[in-house]
Amino acid sequence: MSFKFNNGTFEDNTFNEQIRDRLTRALNPSRFENSESAGSQDGKDSLKRSKKLDILKSGITVRQVDFRTIPQLEILDLDVSAQSKSLLKGICKISCKDAMIQITTEIEANLLLLYQGVSPEFTTPKLISNDSFTVPITMTFDHIELEAISNIFVKNTGVGISFNDVNLDFRFECSMKLLQTSIEKRLKNSMQTIFKDVLPSVIFNMSQRWFTHGPDVVEDHSLIAPNSSSSELTPMTILDTSDLQDLSPATMLRLSTLISSRQSLALNPILPNSVATIPGCVERQNLRRFSSRIPSLNNHYAQEVIKHCTSKSMSTRESSNSIIVNHFASDFIENSLPAEVLQKGSYNIREIANIQQRIYERNNEENVIRRRRIKLGRRSKPQKECLTKPVTAPAAEPISKVVQPAPPAPQTDIHNLSPTTVTPLLSPRPMIAKSPSKGMTPVVIQEQAPYVSSIATNEIPDLRLPQAQINKDKVSTRLNLLEESYFKSDLKDLRNSLYSPMRNQRFYVQTEDGPRPSLLDAKRFSFVGLANQQMKWGNDDLPPPYKAE
Amino acid sequence: MLDYMDYVLRQFERCTSWNKDNSYENIDGTSRNIFQFDIPSSLKVQVSNKSTPYSYNTLELTNNKTINGSLTYLYTNCENLDQFIDGSCRVRLQEMVQSFRYIEPYYHHSKNTEQFKVPKVPISLVYGRMFYPSSSLEVMYVKRFPNHYQFILKCLSSKAGPSILTTYLQKNTKANCQELIFSTNEALLGYRFVHNFVSAGSKSNLSLYNNSSLSIGSEIWCTLLSLNPGCSTTLRYCSHATNTGKPLIFTLSLNPLYGHVSSTYSIKTHENLTFCTKYDFNVYSIQSNLTLGMELWKYSRSAAKVKTPEHLETAEEWPRLSSDKTPMYHHLLAPTENSSHSSQKLLKGLNLTFQSSLQKINKERNVIENFNQRYNEANFTQVFKVSTSLRDMNLRLLWEGRIKGFLVSAGAELTQPPELSTNGLDSLEHQNWSFISPSKFGIQLQYSA
């Protein structure tokens, strides 16, 4: 589920106007459809009679709606795909302050006349001079303060909302002082049922139509009907399908991308530089990257090794890189120096100390620090310390192992840009991507043609992107080509707009408009769930679900 | 047009000397008949007959999308009722059509209806009507007591709604009429009364023949269940134009609870033409309404011309005549009128002294009575009614008449179409095509033997 709050809609008056129109339309269902189901204020009395007493003489007009402050929606908890069937579960807090609504209507004060109208003529005595007496009535709801905590469930079949903790406060003023207290009492009583029954059922019914887009009108009435018979208040469908058209296609697109990214079996991650799209979570495909960031000597020096290797020989760089990362960034993270580093002595004691301290800080309980004395200037001591650890030996081995059989296999991989080999390159520090482009590219391009027959590891050329592209965007050269081939530059925009509103577990209002039109041009994105044929996605009319390409 | 059973009931009341116009319910009967006449809303066919002198029945079929019907039976133990009930071929249209109610002062009323005596024994009437297929039942029981009381019980039992029982207890002396009403629907309780004043001759009143009547009435209602009150007061004045003898009725109603004031003025300018205006005004909301209505009667061509008025009585015949008739200057006499002998003497003396004025009285009376006579004896064949109201923006049309023994009434109501939107701007646009749609129209056929 995605939300987008536009400041703009609240800043100018159009929002209030829109609410006013909607309310007017919702409050006068009978005037537009049929006169039978007219909402009358005295529901109790009307139940006793065969026909309803309708004391309303005219339609209800909403004179004024004024939301002085922007209603705030705060997402307290969001759980995407909590179960297999529900897509989203969330808790949010809705708050709205200092709003004002004024409605006007005309009521019939002469109740005997109404009584005469609905009673059978035969048994009703005639009354003289019993004409109608209409009284205009104005009700003003001032200082409306609403604070509610609601649970939202989005399932494949519909949206369920329950209001848990509703604080509604308003000042009520009626032009007829005589009725003010009684109306106020009734309103307060009915508020509970509105938030408990009416609103959730309305939203659910609406969303059900939206999700299944079945026969909308007929089915919905039958769904609402049992509710109306049991409760006094007849729930009215306030939201129409026309309301849903306001949902921007770009929002839906983002939503669908999010969902499809979760459900696809693709091994390539969606985001190049981040571990998780949702804060506090780690996605399975990003686990390796995540673990590669956990402070440890392995992780740190793996990069050193890569740098060293690439600077030394370009051909081994690729393979060793993948191997090293595969090894070191495995699920179990070992805290040890690679043998190569040790041999070369390219480590820095201060760095090691830093890393160790970070580990200690991260994990206070498990790590028991043993005090050690390290005498500076003595070379044998750190070497001995490293050699005692069992990992150092195997750490050296794979390099030599894999370097030899490396031949065409990694190459084809590289050509196809299989995700396993590429992922390590996308590690957070982009120095790897930079360093080859600086020095080595000219050589590589020259050697690119005759790579086929060469078996020696040294002669295996590295895959290079064309120079132009490298110069254009140095960081993104290592992006997944497959992805890039059809997302192109839009991808970045999409990601920016997709993930930027979520910061620090809070939902922030996004002001600028996303790059909607460019995204929609002749692209088909797969998306899930919100399948409504009335909304057209892209240029073709095909219905949305799972148009995987 | 009255239904057959209503007609029977009307005749029953006449037979039992029950003055319906004396009830507060009908205090504005004339204006209601001219403005708010019933318009049939579907095709309705009614066949009625008088099976025995004591029992009557009706079969009715209505076609309003679906075909509905009703069966009505009426039984009464009133003697001679059958003599006053005619079939649709012979009945006078004036009796069947609800029209101008000519109110006579109560002391004259008894004179004109002297053939009907207050019954010596209680007389009752039972009426039952069964509707199908809606299977509801209407029952009415009327009992006329030898003294001034009448009791009415109406009951409606239907599947759709709750059963309703309404009772009326009415006491109708000549000068007063009081009613106590209770209905189980919402526990409605009401009391209403009418008082007729004996109008005193005033100095400004030049006409000695006083045929005017002044009545005041009032009603109080309250539904006990929901405590909805209602009340109203009405003043009614009926008289005749002095020169032409045309009857006129003026009423003024006031509903103090809702500040409603309405005045009506009805005049029968000709025996076949009636005009009525009504002005409503609300004191609180300053809303007003003007309603106009008229009805036009038509004679049959074949019918004989109305007889020319009888020749004016000569002065010689005066004493005899005036002693024959009940005193029309009732209001001038002392209450001790039973001493007939002395009054006769007095009259003779008076006649001698005020011969010229008595002649004048006679002339006036003749004018009035001739007018009424012409109206009553005319052989009307059709009547056309129109009424319109400014605030409601409607036009109501009704034609009633007799075609080959069938009593036909056809009518339509044209109203402004209901506003489609609550928006003020839109409703202004729609006002242009008003008066297009008939909201109600229908035709009703009646045949009775």
Predicted confidence (pLDDT) per residue in A278-331, tens digit = 666 666 666 777 777 777 777 777 766 665 555 544 443 443 343 344 444 444
Give the confidence band of A143 by pLDDT, cuts at 50, 70, 90: confident
> Cβ–Cβ contacts within 10 Å for residue B347, how many?
18
With a pLDDT cut of 70, the percent of chain B lying above it is 80
* Lowest-pLDDT range of A218-232, A530-544, B60-74: A218-232
The DSSP bridge partners found for residue B190 are B181, B221
The DSSP bridge partners found for residue B125 are B76, B142
Compare all CA atoms of chain A with the CA of B164 and give the residue at the minimum distance. Answer: A123
Closest CA to A498 of A475, A476, A514, A479: A514
Q: What is the pLDDT of residue A421?
A: 40
Query: Under an 8 A CB cutoff, do A131 and B262 touch?
Result: yes
Q: What is the pLDDT of residue A167?
A: 85
Q: What is the pTM of this model?
A: 0.58
Give the confidence band of B408 by pLDDT, cuts at 50, 70, 90: very high
Q: What is the pLDDT of residue B434?
A: 52
Rounded CA-CA distance A337/A409 in Å is: 29
Q: What is the pLDDT of residue A261?
A: 67
Mean pLDDT of A231-245: 49
Give the confidence band of B199 by pLDDT, cuts at 50, 70, 90: low
DSSP A311-327: HH-HHHHHHHHHHHHHH
Residue B336 reports pLDDT greater than 60: no
C-alpha A240: how far from chain center: 24
Query: Under an 8 A CB cutoff, do A133 and B226 touch?
Result: no
Residue identified by tokens 């009376």 is B365
Helices (H), A429-504: 431-439, 441-447, 467-472, 481-487, 490-499
Q: What is the pLDDT of residue A29?
A: 67
Helices A314-328, A431-439: axis angle to 10 degrees equals: 170
Q: Identify whether the C-beta of residue B169 lies closer than 8 Å to the C-beta of residue B100.
A: no
Q: Residues with Cβ < 8 Å from B331, sequence gap 6 or more?
A: B198, B199, B200, B201, B210
Mean pLDDT of B242-255: 87
Q: Residues with Cβ < 8 Å from B207, sequence gap 6 or more?
A: B242, B360, B361, B364
Q: What is the pLDDT of residue A199?
A: 82
Residue A508 reports pLDDT greater than 60: no
What are the angstrom distances between the C-alpha of B230 and each of A190, B224, B254, B283? 31, 12, 11, 16
**Distance between A32 CA and the closest CA of chain B, angstroms:** 7
Q: What is the pLDDT of residue A463?
A: 46
Average pLDDT, chain A: 61
* Candidates B422, B426, B427, partner chain A, best to mutate (most A CBs within 10 A): B422
* Lowest-pLDDT range of A296-300, A432-436, B437-441: A432-436
* 3-state SS assignment for residue A137: strand
Q: What is the pLDDT of residue B349?
A: 74
User: Residue B375 — φ and ψ, nearest 5°?
Assistant: -65, -45
Q: Identify whether the C-beta of residue A287 lies closer than 8 Å to the C-beta of residue A362.
A: no
Q: Residues with Cβ < 8 Å from A451, sequence gap 6 or more?
A: A411, A459, A460, A461
Peptide bond into A408 cis (omega under 30): no
Q: Residues with Cβ < 8 Å from B151, sequence gap 6 or more?
A: B141, B142, B143, B145, B167, B168, B169, B170
| pLDDT winner (highest mean) among A353-357, A466-470, B297-301, B444-448 | B444-448
DSSP A479-492: S-HHHHHHHTTHHH
The DSSP bridge partners found for residue B387 are B293, B396
The DSSP bridge partners found for residue B152 are B142, B168
Rounded CA-CA distance B198/B176 in Å is: 11
Q: What is the DSSP letter of A377?
A: T
With a pLDDT cut of 90, the percent of chain A lying above it is 0
Residue A437 reports pLDDT greater than 60: no
Spell out where A156-195 has E strands: 159-174
| pLDDT winner (highest mean) among A93-107, A292-306, A337-351, A444-458 | A93-107
What residue type is A406 in one-letter code? A
| B244 vs A488: which has the higher pLDDT | B244
Give contacts of B161 with chain A, Cβ < 8 Å.
49-50, 120
**B230 in A contact zone (CB under 8 Å):** yes
Sequence ranges of the domains in chain A? 2-33+52-213
* Candidates B98, B188, B253, B284, partner chain A, best to mutate (most A CBs within 10 A): B188
Mean pLDDT of B250-254: 94
Give contacts of A122 with chain B, Cβ < 8 Å.
138, 154, 156
Max CA-CA distance within chain A? 120
DSSP B316-339: GGHHHHHHHSPPTTGGGS-S----
> Cβ–Cβ contacts within 10 Å for residue A386, how many?
20
Rounded CA-CA distance A465/A441 in Å is: 9
Residue identified by tokens 């009259």 is B347
Quick: pLDDT tens for B260-305.
999 999 999 888 899 999 999 999 888 899 999 999 999 876 554 4
Q: Identify whether the C-beta of residue A433 lies closer than 8 Å to the C-beta of residue A422.
A: no
Q: What is the pLDDT of residue A323?
A: 39
Rounded CA-CA distance A78/A91 in Å is: 6
Mean pLDDT of A335-355: 80
Max CA-CA distance within chain B? 79
Query: Under an 8 A CB cutoff, do B232 and A60 touch?
Result: no
Give the confidence band of A45 by pLDDT, cuts at 50, 70, 90: very low
Size of interface A-B (CB pairs under 8 A): 98
Compare all CA atoms of chain A with the CA of B189 and give the residue at the minimum distance. Answer: A125
User: Residue A468 — φ and ψ, nearest 5°?
Assistant: -60, -45
CATH topology of domain A2-33+52-213: Bactericidal permeability-increasing protein; domain 1 (3.15.10)
Rounded CA-CA distance B79/B10 in Å is: 15
Residue A177 reports pLDDT greater than 70: yes
Domain with CATH 2.40.160.10 in chain B: 4-303+378-448
Residue identified by tokens 């132009």 is A468
Superfamily of segment(s) B4-303+378-448: Porin (2.40.160.10)
Q: Are strands B66-76 and A61-67 parallel, antiparallel or unpaired?
A: unpaired
| A242 vs B192: which has the higher pLDDT | B192
Q: Identify whether the C-beta of residue B8 lies closer than 8 Å to the C-beta of residue B85.
A: yes
Mean pLDDT of A154-174: 82
> Cβ–Cβ contacts within 10 Å for residue A218, how many?
9
Residue A395 reports pLDDT greater than 50: no
Q: Identify whether the C-beta of residue A146 lies closer than 8 Å to the C-beta of residue A121.
A: no
Q: Identify whether the C-beta of residue B126 lies closer than 8 Å to the C-beta of residue B74.
A: yes
Give the confidence band of B79 by pLDDT, cuts at 50, 70, 90: confident
C-alpha B233: how far from chain center: 19
Give the confidence band of A244 by pLDDT, cuts at 50, 70, 90: low
**Distance between B285 CA and the closest CA of chain A, angstroms:** 8
Rounded CA-CA distance A532/B183 in Å is: 57
Q: Identify whether the C-beta of residue B155 lies closer than 8 Å to the C-beta of residue B163.
A: yes
Q: Identify whether the C-beta of residue A41 lies closer than 8 Å to the C-beta of residue A182.
A: no
Token pair belonging to B166: 């309404």
**B104 in A contact zone (CB under 8 Å):** no
Give contacts of B165 with chain A, Cβ < 8 Å.
123
Q: What is the pLDDT of residue A446?
A: 43
Q: Residues with Cβ < 8 Å from A337, sequence gap 6 or more?
A: A297, A298, A301, A347, A352, A386, A392
Spell out where B1-122 has E strands: 43-52, 55-64, 66-76
Token pair belonging to B319: 């004493």
Compare all CA atoms of chain A with the CA of B155 and give the residue at the minimum distance. Answer: A123
Tell me how many degrees the CA angle B59-B60-B61 measures, rounded to the nearest 5. Answer: 130
Mean pLDDT of B360-369: 78
| pLDDT winner (highest mean) among A348-362, A494-508, B403-417 | B403-417
Residue B72 reports pLDDT greater than 80: yes
Closest CA to A49 of B158, B447, B446: B158
Q: What is the DSSP letter of B21?
A: G
Quick: pLDDT tens for A448-462.
444 444 444 455 444
Rounded CA-CA distance A497/A494 in Å is: 5
Q: Residues with Cβ < 8 Å from A79, sequence gap 6 or more?
A: A88, A89, A90
Q: Which of residues 124-183 of B touch A (CB under 8 A)?
A: 138, 154-156, 158, 160-162, 164-166, 168, 181, 183
Rounded CA-CA distance B224/A112 in Å is: 12
Dihedral in degrees, nearest 10, Cα atoms B322, B324, B326, B329 = 10
Q: What is the pLDDT of residue B130?
A: 93
Spell out where A129-158 has E strands: 134-155
Closest CA to B48 of B8, B17, B20, B108: B8
Give the confidence band of A399 by pLDDT, cuts at 50, 70, 90: very low
Rounded CA-CA distance A351/A303 in Å is: 13
Closest CA to B4 of B58, B61, B77, B84: B58
Rounded CA-CA distance A44/A305 in Å is: 82
Query: Under an 8 A CB cutoff, do A24 and B255 touch?
Result: no
